[in-house]
Structure formats: structure tokens, C-alpha cells
């Protein structure tokens, strides 16, 4: 029998990582959310790369939907390459990073702080440069992460983001569901997504779709598919996919849809029907009926958290698919754990 890969071990630690985060920092995260609500910033900016940028995207959709505050994703190169004269007085900058040490992220946070933004860092390495230089730093408590493919640190960052937004918007129902997240994520580890193993094991190309908060999880899934299994997966919203990307869909083209039961669910189902009619092989991760071959989802009690449950089930699937394709998910060729971009 094979020893467990780091990716599998760390995916299985996601529920405990979130439990540690909530034990240690739920009060801090909620207090931060209430403080930001009182500030009522005209804009929130985010700065992150790779997987952490998908957690930033999840924060963006949750915050825009709940509070209407526009969220701008800032390329770290604005500071590190373009030396832009940032105008961020009264704004809030969220920096999200596993390692907290990429030089371009450090540079943008410093420039934003100098420009008058309140800087908030969500990082997994407490004594990292990003954490040390932020106005408010909240440790993600995910524990050491060894696999190049980040998993538990992404789930912890997204859970932290959801907690801040819940407190900001005063959404007690979301806060209650967040308290139950460790249990829901443990159930997500057991969800049977084997129906996708064979289609992904033989695919060279596929789409991951979602809308709103679920789109951020589709983007994370697409990156993991490339990174761990050399599948050219790309993410689209179920709206954008009709503007050209639909052209690629053909018989047996796998499409994984992240479909929580939020306000976008009806439009999402209609899009999946159209993708099926074009020949696509549709797999909706959903808690209710949907077109295609449904993948079971461990419900979290809130449509905005269900994408995190789906992400955990997806990581478990992808670790298997990577090995089925003959790869080691922990050691993708060419890639390093910390990408020190300038």
C-alpha cells in the first residue's frame, strides 16, 4: 500500500485547520469585520497570487454581494514593477499569502500602507515579512504546509474571509454556519466524487464553472488540475462561458460545475443545460437536482460556504486523478512551494 501523499494528508487536515482558526481567531476576525463595517471604506483592495488569489476572489464576491463595497484586485506589479502612485487613503488592503514572503506582495502592501490604506494580512507563517509589516495580521493556523499544491491553507484563508464578511454584514446565519464548518468539511472528505475520476484521468482539456463565490472555487480547481495533473482546465462564470468559450465544448468535454443553491442557481442550471446540449459532459457539484451527473456535496448550512465543502471534496478527487495519470501530486515538475516573483 502506498504511503499517503502530502496533498492527501494536508487535504484531510483542512477541517482541523479551520477548527484551529476559529478557536484561536474567531473573535479577532469578527472584531475586524465590525471595525471595517464602521470604517465603511469606499473600496477594498486585495493583493495575492496563485491559490491565495482565489481566496481573495472568494472574499471579493462575498463582500460585494453582502455589502456592495467594490473590491479591486491589485496586481503586485503595480508597486514592484510599475511604481504606480497608489491612491488608497481610507481604503482597506487585504494581503493573502501562505508564506507571507513573496517580495512583490511585500512591496505592494508597503506601498498601500504608505498611501494611507489600512492593511490586513491573512498569512500562514506568523513571523513572515507580510505579517510583520501589516496593520492587522491574522494567522491562518493551517500548520506547516509541505505539498506544492496548497490545500488546507486555501480553505483556512477562505474561512477567515467568510468570517470577516459575516461580521461586517452582521449576518448571524452565516456566522452560525461558519461555526459548523469543521464538521461539514470532515463530511466533505467522505463525499464520493469518483464519477469524475475516469473523465478527468483521460481528459487533456476541461472547464470548471461557477458564479459569484463559487467562481473563485472553480478558478482554484482549474489551477489545481493544471498543477497536479497536467490537465488544461480553465474556469469561467456560467455567464462568460457563452461569450466564446462555449466554442470548445464538444462530445465528452468534461465540465465540472460548482453550483450552490444561491440566487444564481437557476441561471446556472439553464447554462448547464445549454452546455449539455452542445455535447458537454456536465458534472454539477450541487446539493439539489441539476443537469448532468451530480456529485454529492456535504451541505454547510449556508450557500456561501458550500463552495468550500466542494473545494475539499475536489482536492480529494484531484489527488487521486494526479496519481491515476502517473504523477506525484506533491512534486509537479518545474514548480516550487514559494514563488518569489518580483
Which residue, 1 or 82, is less far from a second copy as judged by CB? 82
Which residue, 304 or 320, is less far from a second copy as judged by CB? 304
Closest by alpha carbon to 96, among 28, 160, 35, 29?
A: 160
* Cα angle 280-288-22, degrees, rounded to a multiple of 5: 110
Our finding on whether 202 is near a second copy (CB under 8 A) is: no
Using CA atoms, how far apart are residues 217 and 278, in angstroms rounded to an integer? Answer: 24
310: its cell numbers: 466542494
Count the alpha carbons within 13 Å of 119 in the hemisphere toward its beta carbon.
Answer: 23
Q: Which of 5, 128, 184, 237 binds a second copy (CB under 8 A)?
A: 237
Which residue, 25 or 51, is less far from a second copy as judged by CB? 51
Q: Are the CB atoms for 221 and 208 separated by under 8 Å?
A: yes
Our finding on whether 145 is near a second copy (CB under 8 A) is: no
Q: Provide the mask over 261-280, with x wherever binding to a second copy is found by CB under 8 A and - wherever it is not.
A: -xxx--x----------x--
Q: Which of 247, 251, 289, 326 binds a second copy (CB under 8 A)?
A: 247
Which residue, 24 or 115, is less far from a second copy as judged by CB? 115
Question: Please, which of residues 52-81 interact with a second copy by CB under 8 A?
Answer: 53, 61, 64-78, 81
For 53, the 3-state DSSP assignment is helix
Residue 81 per-residue DSSP state: T
Which residue, 19 or 217, is less far from a second copy as judged by CB? 217
Question: Please, which of residues 81-100 interact with a second copy by CB under 8 A?
Answer: 81-91
Residue 264 beta carbon to a second copy: minimum distance, rounded to whole angstroms: 5
Residue 175 beta carbon to a second copy: minimum distance, rounded to whole angstroms: 19
**Radius of gyration from C-alpha coordinates of the chain:** 19
Alpha carbon 331 to chain centroid distance?
21
In the block, cell 475520476 appears at 197
Question: Please, which of residues 11-50 interact with a second copy by CB under 8 A?
Answer: 40, 42-43, 45, 49-50
Phi, psi of 137 (to 5 degrees): -120, 130
Which residue, 187 or 240, is less far from a second copy as judged by CB? 240
Judged by CB under 8 A, how many residues of this single chain contact a second copy? 73
Residue 192 beta carbon to a second copy: minimum distance, rounded to whole angstroms: 26
45: its cell numbers: 483592495
* Largest interatomic CA distance in the chain: 57
Amino acid at each position: 500500500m502506498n504511503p499517503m501523499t502530502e496533498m492527501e494528508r494536508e487535504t484531510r487536515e483542512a477541517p482541523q485547520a479551520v477548527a484551529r482558526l476559529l478557536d484561536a481567531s474567531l473573535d479577532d476576525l469578527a472584531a475586524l469585520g465590525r471595525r471595517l463595517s464602521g470604517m465603511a471604506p469606499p473600496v477594498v483592495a486585495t493583493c495575492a497570487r496563485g491559490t491565495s488569489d482565489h481566496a481573495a476572489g472568494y472574499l471579493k464576491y462575498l463582500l460585494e454581494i453582502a455589502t456592495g463595497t467594490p473590491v479591486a484586485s491589485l496586481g503586485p506589479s503595480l508597486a514592484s514593477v510599475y511604481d504606480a502612485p497608489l491612491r488608497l487613503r481610507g481604503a482597506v488592503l487585504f494581503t493573502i499569502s501562505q508564506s507571507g514572503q513573496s517580495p512583490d506582495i511585500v512591496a505592494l502592501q508597503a506601498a498601500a500602507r504608505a498611501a494611507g490604506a489600512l492593511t490586513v494580512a491573512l498569512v500562514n507563517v506568523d513571523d513572515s515579512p507580510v505579517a510583520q509589516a501589516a496593520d492587522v495580521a491574522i494567522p491562518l493556523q493551517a500548520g506547516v504546509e509541505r505539498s506544492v499544491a496548497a490545500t488546507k491553507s486555501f480553505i483556512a484563508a477562505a474561512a477567515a474571509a467568510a468570517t470577516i464578511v459575516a461580521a461586517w454584514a452582521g449576518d448571524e446565519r452565516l456566522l452560525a454556519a461558519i461555526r459548523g464548518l469543521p464538521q461539514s468539511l470532515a463530511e466533505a472528505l467522505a463525499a464520493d466524487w469518483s464519477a469524475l475520476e475516469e473523465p478527468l484521468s483521460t481528459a487533456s482539456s476541461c472547464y470548471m464553472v461557477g458564479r459569484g463565490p463559487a467562481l473563485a472555487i472553480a478558478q482554484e480547481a482549474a489551477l489545481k488540475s493544471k498543477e497536479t495533473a497536467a490537465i488544461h482546465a480553465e474556469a469561467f462564470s456560467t455567464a462568460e462561458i457563452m461569450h466564446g468559450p462555449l466554442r470548445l465544448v464538444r462530445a465528452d468535454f468534461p465540465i465540472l460545475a460548482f453550483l450552490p443553491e444561491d440566487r444564481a442557481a437557476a441561471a446556472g442550471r439553464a447554462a448547464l443545460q445549454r452546455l449539455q446540449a452542445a455535447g458537454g459532459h456536465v458534472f454539477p457539484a450541487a446539493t439539489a437536482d441539476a443537469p448532468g451527473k451530480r456529485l454529492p456535496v456535504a451541505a454547510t448550512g449556508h450557500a456561501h460556504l458550500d463552495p468550500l465543502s466542494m473545494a475539499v471534496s475536489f482536492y480529494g478527487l484531484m489527488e487521486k486523478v494526479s496519481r491515476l495519470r502517473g504523477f506525484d501530486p506533491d512534486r509537479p515538475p518545474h514548480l516550487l512551494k514559494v514563488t518569489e516573483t518580483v
